[in-house]
Amino acid sequence: MKKKKILSLVTLALLGLGVSGCAVFKADAPRGEQQKTEETKKGEEDVTSSASKKESGESAGASEESTPYTDPSKLKSSYDVVIIGAGGAGMTAAIEAKDAGLNPVILEKMPIAGGNTSKSSSGMNASNTKFQKEQGITDSNDAFYEETLKGGHGTNDKEMLRYFVDHSADAIDWLDGIGIKLDNLTITGGMSVKRTHRPSDGSAIGGYLVKGLMENVAKRDIPIFVNTDVTKIHEKDGVVNGVTAQVQGEKARTIKGKAVVVTTGGFGASKELIEKYRPDLKNYVTTNQVGSTGDGIKMIEKLGGQTVDMDQIQIHPTVQQDKGILIGEAVRGEGAILVNGEGNRFVNELDTRDKVSNAINEQSGKYAYLIFDQGVRSRATAIEFYAKQGYVTEGATIKELADKINVPASNLENAVTSWNQAVATKQDTAFQRTTGMDHPLDQANYYAIKIAPGIHYTMGGVKINTKTQVINKENKPITGLYAAGEVTGGLHGQNRIGGNSVAEIVIFGRQAGQQAAAYAKEQK
């Protein structure tokens, strides 16, 4: 595949447009109506052209020279560890399995690696890290645990959560050790301190993380096969021993494995499963890439695997509706505010995602505007990508911005002035916001992005233990089967804290790779 085509495919996947004529979730009236309009088609053409010129290269993170995919003809009939899914969790697991001395393979159904990881924006949460200490930020694993438990309304799997927070700093160190440095800190909703780790330049974490992981996969000569659809996980006498895979649409074949790791992601792009578990959300736009259709969950259920929290689907409050692009929480973490169609603030912008989403849905028209200044734009550089896509409205003054987005100028000016006073006094008497208040909104120019809630993350999935072993309906591990990432459920409870999913894929991706390798070594 030519480099130009790879970049185009990467960017299309990042924007949820897919390939080969896949439709997007389009949000008009009613919001989220599933149709492909002429406007959407034009958007795809524009994005493809943009990608070929590398205008969106900062969000892509794939190049043929440094991270080539493996020729389909080189697919063997047997590997030590078979990993299904080439997102962050899958690549992390593969690296750990390889470093343990084994021979892993990654099978990915999409034309590119990355999955939903590519679309991650805000960062990776971790507590008591070396980067926090270097920057004078006091944090603890217990604080991270308690705030995540509170964010999930106390319904999180506590054993999983304890393992998660206690291994978060190690995950940051591990990434740093393989050339993926996350030393720029910000904050997300539900957190009390800066524990969201980003690339040094403050850019979106997704493309940076995928690029770094793919480089490490390539450096270790780990085979990664794309356009490879795994349709079945095999087991004999209760022991998992391989998969059925269809490569490039050819005849399906059996690939044996001493262990199988499932990292196929969630089901946020499956209209079928969304309607089954949450019919009230069936018309919402989704931020998920088109491959997030719950394949791994379905295959594991057929083996008798247990699922948990399948009706717990997170709505992200700030989604650009035309193409389902998430506007990362780091924008609010760096100081942006939300105003309604009248130009008034109406919520603590860094409350948990469910509460902010509900507040937006209570506004007339069920939409809002993110309002920020040049200072926020310089600190949250992912905004440059949003601007290139045409989502950002700009004004030299607050009044000019208000006129452009058609809200009363006096209201918007008052909202910004009142917010700046709250920042100065560190007391937001209107909505009790206490974080993301380091800088006032006083650096021209001024900007707005129109947003509304959209389907973002599926907290439910297959049940695993802290060793990432998949648990069956009898509450026993399925021998030889491991899972990590959004395909699993329980860790986040009823609401995921922004920045925790990237931490999850690294922490449990590492564990899955290590545990699968240890098990495979025991097999004859």
3-class secondary-structure state, position 171: helix
- Do 400 and 478 fall into the same domain? no
Crossing angle of the two packed helices 38-52 and 3-14, in degrees rounded to 10? 140
Residue 170 pLDDT exceeds 70: yes
For residue 68, give the nearest of 205, 209, 207, 221 by alpha carbon.
221
Q: What is the mean pLDDT of the chain?
A: 89
The number of residues making up the chain comes to: 524
Cis preceding linkage at 279, omega within 30: no
Specify if 45 maps to a domain.
Answer: no
Assign 331 a pLDDT band (cuts: 50, 70, 90).
very high
**pLDDT of 488 over the 80 cut:** yes
Give 524's pLDDT tier (boundaries 50, 70, 90): low
* Span 353-390, pLDDT tens digits: 999 999 999 999 999 999 999 999 999 999 999 999 99
480 and 342 in a single domain? The answer is no
For 36-45, 338-347, 360-369, 514-523, which range has the lowest pLDDT when averaged over its residues? 36-45
Percent of the chain clearing pLDDT 90 (strictly above): 84
* 330 and 308 share one domain: no
- Cα–Cα distance between 196 and 285 in angstroms, integer? 26
Whether 62 has a pLDDT exceeding 50, the answer reads no
In the prediction, which pLDDT does 390 show? 97
Domain membership flag for residue 23: no
351 and 187 Cβ atoms separated by less than 8 Å: no
In a domain, 209, yes or no: yes
Q: How many domains does the chain have?
A: 2
Which of these three, 455, 475, 502, is where a domain ends? Answer: 455
Report residue 209 CA to chain centroid gap: 11
Report the predicted TM-score, pTM, of the whole model to 2 decimal places. 0.82
Residue with tokens 């206690």: 166
Beta strands in 441-523 (DSSP E): 446-458, 461-462, 469-471, 477-483
Same domain for 214 and 114? yes
- Report the CATH number at residue 408: 3.90.700.10
pLDDT value of residue 15: 35
Q: Are 304 and 393 in a shared domain?
A: no
Q: Which of 323, 128, 326, 83 is nearest to 222 (CA)?
A: 83
Same domain, 201 and 171: yes
- 493, part of any domain: yes
Beta bridge partners of 394: 447
Q: Residue 81 belongs to a domain with what CATH number?
A: 3.50.50.60
Is 52's pLDDT higher than 80?
Answer: no
Model pLDDT for residues 307-316, shown as the tens digit of each residue: 999 999 999 9
pLDDT digits (tens, 9 = 90+) for 3-32: 333 333 344 333 332 222 232 223 333 333
DSSP code at position 459:
-
Nearest Cα to Cα of residue 395 among 434, 431, 435, 444 = 444
Question: Which contiguous run of DSSP H or E holds residue 375?
Answer: helix 374-379
Q: Residue 278 pLDDT more than 50?
A: yes
- Give domain status of residue 139, yes or no: yes
**pLDDT tens digit sequence for 213-259:** 999 999 999 999 999 999 999 999 999 999 999 999 899 999 999 99
Same domain, 364 and 470: no
The answer to whether residues 352 and 209 belong to one domain is no
Q: pLDDT tens-digit profile of 73-120?
A: 999 999 999 999 999 999 999 999 999 999 999 999 999 999 999 999
User: Any idea which residue has 């590119």 for tokens?
Assistant: 112
Give the pLDDT confidence score for residue 122 in this predicted structure: 86
Domain boundary among 440, 455, 470: 455
Of 434, 455, 476, which closes a domain? 455
Range of the domain at 369: 315-455
CB atoms within 10 A of CB 154: 10
Q: Hey, what are 210's tokens?
A: 């995928």
Is 186 inside any structural domain?
Answer: yes
Do 184 and 156 belong to one domain? yes
Residue 436 included in any domain: yes
Which one-letter DSSP state was computed for residue 305? Answer: B
Note if 353 is an active site residue.
Answer: yes
285 lies in the same domain as 325: no
pLDDT value, residue 117: 96
514 with 412, same domain? no
If asked whether residues 247 and 353 sit together in one domain, one would say no
Give me the catalytic one of 198, 278, 332, 353.
353
